Amino acid sequence: MEELCALIRQPSVSAQNVGVTECAELVRRLMSEAGAEARLIPTPGFPVVYGEARASGAKRTVLIYGHYDVQPPEPLEAWETPPFEPSIRNGRIYARGAGDNKGQMFAHLKAVEAVLRTRGRLPVNVKLCFEGEEEIASRNFPAFLSAHRKLLAAALVYSSDGPMHPSGPMVYFGCRGILYLELTAHGAKRDLHSGNYGGVAPAPAARLCQAVASLWSGRGKVLVSGFYDRVRKPSPADRRTLRTIPFAAQSVREDLGCLPVTGERGRAYYRQLLLQPNLNVAGLTSGYQGPGMKTIIPNVARAKLDARLVMDQDPDEIEEKIRAHLKRRGFGDVEVKRLGAVPPSRTPVDHPLGKAVVRAVEQAWGRRPVIVPNLGGTIPDYLFTQVLGLPSIWVPYAPHDEANHAPNESITLEGFVNGIRSTAVALFEIAASSEGG
Amino acid sequence: MEELCALIRQPSVSAQNVGVTECAELVRRLMSEAGAEARLIPTPGFPVVYGEARASGAKRTVLIYGHYDVQPPEPLEAWETPPFEPSIRNGRIYARGAGDNKGQMFAHLKAVEAVLRTRGRLPVNVKLCFEGEEEIASRNFPAFLSAHRKLLAAALVYSSDGPMHPSGPMVYFGCRGILYLELTAHGAKRDLHSGNYGGVAPAPAARLCQAVASLWSGRGKVLVSGFYDRVRKPSPADRRTLRTIPFAAQSVREDLGCLPVTGERGRAYYRQLLLQPNLNVAGLTSGYQGPGMKTIIPNVARAKLDARLVMDQDPDEIEEKIRAHLKRRGFGDVEVKRLGAVPPSRTPVDHPLGKAVVRAVEQAWGRRPVIVPNLGGTIPDYLFTQVLGLPSIWVPYAPHDEANHAPNESITLEGFVNGIRSTAVALFEIAASSEGG
């Protein structure tokens, strides 16, 4: 606990370049003290803290990912105690980085140390790879991974980040991807008086609505030709897993203020949310948006589209299909601009090493974790599965209400301790698995 | 000129209640001095200045409309000379109200006075009805007209307001109407994370686009059932008139930055703009509208729709048809709110008294005026044609660049003098018309 508090006290705000270099050195020292051969590997930005703890004769290697940089602490006045002064109350450590990600990252080091101290040796080789730029979009991490594929070779990537399920421990196996596009329809060179020009001037706002509307059927099915082509059928294991995710229809209903579009059943809910793609309008803007009337023909209209993609959809291919759809429907004049993309990424829920991890988490917590085939949201899991080509499994140790990126961020003491246990037991379960590379 | 300058010096800003009552009294005095029996008729707001100049034995009566209130003068620093201190330069009088509407209104009084002084009697009875709340949406004027139908009985309403055609004098016979609606699609009770809810939460922004898009065919034809039912076929006179309106394809193109949707021909342009209705999206708003990505499912989406209506479309009926259309297309959950409506209004371009007015304007200016069947925009002409049930003809005396409602408003001396001539000659031409009630 004292060491964790020391780590938390060292600010490491990558967005503000506050203390990150000092923190990297501290993490390297802590990693060494845990028993790994640790070093800093420079990148064009902040260094990766990399370490290895070899187990002579072990046939498997586990690559553990984490990050030592944190979000900016602002707004400072919203914190009950100072963000870089850890405060222990209500069974939690409150501080910037307590949950995201220092507490979770540090649990891995303590797990390695605990195994080494009590057993003398690790059951698997452990590689520790802690990034310093996760909160600034991991801008140098993809190149780092590409450049160090061999160094990072492993049977599995094991990561702890983000919050657990509200009901407790959770293991997840990937995420949906994202493709974020902006559609723009252009009209005259300026807004026009709708009385003086209505009927003779181009109408980009109506046109944008038509282009956007053409993307779905009336029932919400995406009409972009080929959009669903690569969507994987859920495996039997996926289907079994969906049934086991807790679903409280009543609380979802209260949260949304309405019934979800999939109705009252959890399986349909999770199938749609996790294993189906979705095309969403995240924003619309054109012309007059204030109260009352303004009679103009806007000269530009924009829509932000965010597509959540599932395996094996490819953002580049989906973008091409959307462009082709718009052209085919006669909206070739509507400009399409990509604002961002991350491919979907998954490791099968019945991967043997995944099963080993689930067993470990169950032992560590004394209860079966919630197993989620993948997140509905997007994390850069493809870096591990596609760039490194490794199975990747996520076991968060922070509570569901960790307030990551927000004031009064926290990790529970229980989560931290059970996190250490989870990593430690996972190393043994992974070593003991008869399959899994 | 001295009298006009005195009238302009008297502020009468209805929106700010500055000098309006004093101006009403001044207008009443000027009206009396012109030879009419003038009085103030109170309304719940500012009074109407009403006057009659009877012509013994005349069989026709002309009702002349104008308004003595003006727009606020702000921003004051943008005026080259003080707004209520008329400045004569470049052949124009610059001042707030010079064009809108004091200069035009006063020309009518001078015309009556000139005829009385030179001929001893008027060729028609003249009723003068000058409103004091035009710039605040004529809020008490409809009730005033309803209450004084008998007092205001006439063969014709003659009004001078707004700017002339860029090429010179103009006579127009009405306007398109307007129906302004706001469509709102509702979703969850708050914006949602598009990763955590995409596919299971309602999607009001996509839905709004679909509802709005359903209103037109791909080629821009309004698909609302019955929308065009009451659209009048252009009369032979309308068709002839459209051909005579000057159309400079090149300058329209420069103004828009693109070719109008009707192509390069003036007749198609004006037919679409003046004699066809139009349904326009004046604004769209939903979710995130800033730069870059924000991954939300917005919980509300809104569109502002402005429909320009032509004879004999009725705003109430069109609103009903749009509501019915949305229901029939499955968008019964999209909320429809009316923000405003003014019916279309027209007097036939070949009305005998219209022909008389055109002849008068031609004599006054020494050139044939541009004849426009109606404006593309909307003015409350229906008050005259529908509430009073009278033909209504508009002859603006202010230049096309009068800068009404803006700093450095002006009327040309030529426009003012030819305005006096136009009104005076019109009285004779109207008297001489063998038809026209």
Q: What is the ipTM of this complex?
A: 0.92
Which residue of A180, A206, A375 is in closest CB contact with B281? A206
- C-alpha angle A416-A417-A419 in degrees, rounded to nearest 5: 65
Question: Chain A within 8 Å of B202 (Cβ-Cβ)?
Answer: yes
Q: How far is CA B29 from CA A267, B22, B24, B25, B188, in A?
A: 83, 11, 9, 6, 63
* Res A168: pLDDT: 95
Nearest CA to B249 out of B269, B276, B221 is that of: B269
Q: Which residue of A has its CA nearest to B263?
A: A200
* Res B214: pLDDT: 98
pTM value surpassing 0.80: yes
Q: Residues A8, A11, A12, A16: is their CA dihedral positive or negative?
A: positive
For A13-61, write each residue's pLDDT tens digit: 999 999 999 999 999 999 999 999 999 999 999 999 999 999 989 999 9
- Residues on chain B touching A286 (C-beta within 8 angstroms): 281, 283-285
Domain ranges (residues) in chain A: 2-175+345-432, 177-231+277-342
- Would you place residue B437 in the very low, low, confident or very high pLDDT band (cuts 50, 70, 90)? confident
Return the percentage of chain A with pLDDT > 70, whole number: 100
CB B156 within 8 A of CB B423: no
Is B284 in Cβ contact with A301 (below 8 Å)? yes
Is B214 in Cβ contact with A206 (below 8 Å)? no
- Would you place residue B146 in the very low, low, confident or very high pLDDT band (cuts 50, 70, 90)? very high
* Res B191: pLDDT: 94
- Residues on chain B touching A283 (C-beta within 8 angstroms): 205, 286-289, 294, 296, 298
Taking residues B4-32, what's their average pLDDT? 97
Q: Is the pLDDT of residue B284 over 80?
A: yes
Is B287 in Cβ contact with A286 (below 8 Å)? no
CATH class of residue range B177-231+277-342: alpha beta
Question: Chain B within 8 Å of A432 (Cβ-Cβ)?
Answer: no
Nearest CA to B167 out of B241, B253, B267, B248 is that of: B248
Number of residues that this document lists for chain A? 437
Q: Is the pLDDT of residue B267 over 90?
A: yes
For B352-365, write each residue's pLDDT tens digit: 999 999 999 999 99
What is the identity of the amino acid at B290? G
What is the identity of the amino acid at B431? A
Question: Chain B within 8 Å of A406 (Cβ-Cβ)?
Answer: no
- Would you place residue A159 in the very low, low, confident or very high pLDDT band (cuts 50, 70, 90)? very high
For A93-151, write each residue's pLDDT tens digit: 999 999 999 999 999 999 999 999 999 999 999 999 999 999 998 999 999 999 999 99
Give residues 278 to 307 of A whose Cβ lies within 8 Å of B. Answer: 278-289, 292-298, 301-304, 306
Give residues 140 to 159 of B whose Cβ lies within 8 Å of A. Answer: none
Is B258 in Cβ contact with A202 (below 8 Å)? yes
**B219 exposed, middle or buried (CB, 10 Å; 0-12, 13-18, 19+)?**
exposed
Q: Is the pLDDT of residue A435 over 90?
A: no
Which residue of A269, A289, A295 is in closest CB contact with B285? A289
- C-alpha angle B405-B410-B416 in degrees, rounded to nearest 5: 125
Domain A2-175+345-432 matching CATH 3.40.630.10: the answer reads yes
CB A227 within 8 A of CB A318: yes
Mean pLDDT value across chain A: 96
Question: Chain A within 8 Å of B375 (Cβ-Cβ)?
Answer: yes
- Would you place residue B414 in the very low, low, confident or very high pLDDT band (cuts 50, 70, 90)? very high
Question: Chain A within 8 Å of B376 (Cβ-Cβ)?
Answer: yes
Question: Chain B within 8 Å of A219 (Cβ-Cβ)?
Answer: no
* Res A436: pLDDT: 82
Mean pLDDT value across chain B: 96
Alpha-carbon gap, residue B51 to A228, rounded angstroms: 75
For B60-93, write each residue's pLDDT tens digit: 999 999 999 999 999 999 999 999 999 999 999 9
Q: Is the pLDDT of residue B311 over 80?
A: yes
Torsion angle, CA of B219/B224/B225/B226, rounded to 10 degrees?
-100
- Residues on chain A touching B267 (C-beta within 8 angstroms): none
Strand B370-372 to B170-172 pairing: parallel
3-state secondary structure chain B: CHHHHHHHHCCCEHHHCECHHHHHHHHHHHHHHHCCEEEEECCCCCCEEEEEECCCCCCCEEEEEEECCECCCCCHHHCCCCCCCCEEECCEEECCCHHHHHHHHHHHHHHHHHHHHHHCCCCCEEEEEEECCHHHCCCCHHHHHHHCCCCCCCCEEEECCCECECCECEEECEECEEEEEEEEEECCCCCEEHHHHCCCCCCHHHHHHHHHHCCECCCCCECCCCCCCCCCCCCHHHHHHHHHCCCCHHHHHHHHCCCCCCCCCHHHHHHHHHHCCEEEEEEEEEECCCCCCCCEECCEEEEEEEEEECCCCCHHHHHHHHHHHHHHCCCCCCEEEEEEEECCEECCCCCHHHHHHHHHHHHHHCCCCEEECCECCCCCCHHHHHHCCCCEEECCCECCCCCCCCCCCEEEHHHHHHHHHHHHHHHHHHHHCCCCC
Sheet holding B87-89, edge to edge: B87-89, B92-94, B410-412
* Res B436: pLDDT: 82
Taking residues B207-220, what's their average pLDDT? 96
Question: Chain B within 8 Å of A44 (Cβ-Cβ)?
Answer: no
> B94's torsion region: left (phi>0), alpha (psi -120 to 50) or beta?
beta
Q: Is the pLDDT of residue B310 over 90?
A: yes
* Closest chain A C-alpha to B25 CA, distance in angstroms: 34
Which residue of B198, B272, B375 is in closest CB contact with A195? B375
* Res B274: pLDDT: 97
Q: Which residue of A has its CA nearest to B221?
A: A199
Alpha-carbon gap, residue A38 to A28, rounded angstroms: 6
Spatial CB neighbours of A75, under 8 Å, sequence gap ≥ 6: A407
CB B65 within 8 A of CB B159: yes
Alpha-carbon gap, residue B270 to B258, rounded angstroms: 17
CB B227 within 8 A of CB B318: yes
Q: How far is CA A242 from CA A39, A172, A278, A361, in A?
A: 41, 12, 18, 19
Question: Chain B within 8 Å of A206 (Cβ-Cβ)?
Answer: yes
Q: Is the pLDDT of residue B435 over 90?
A: no
Which residue of B180, B190, B298 is in closest CB contact with A282? B298
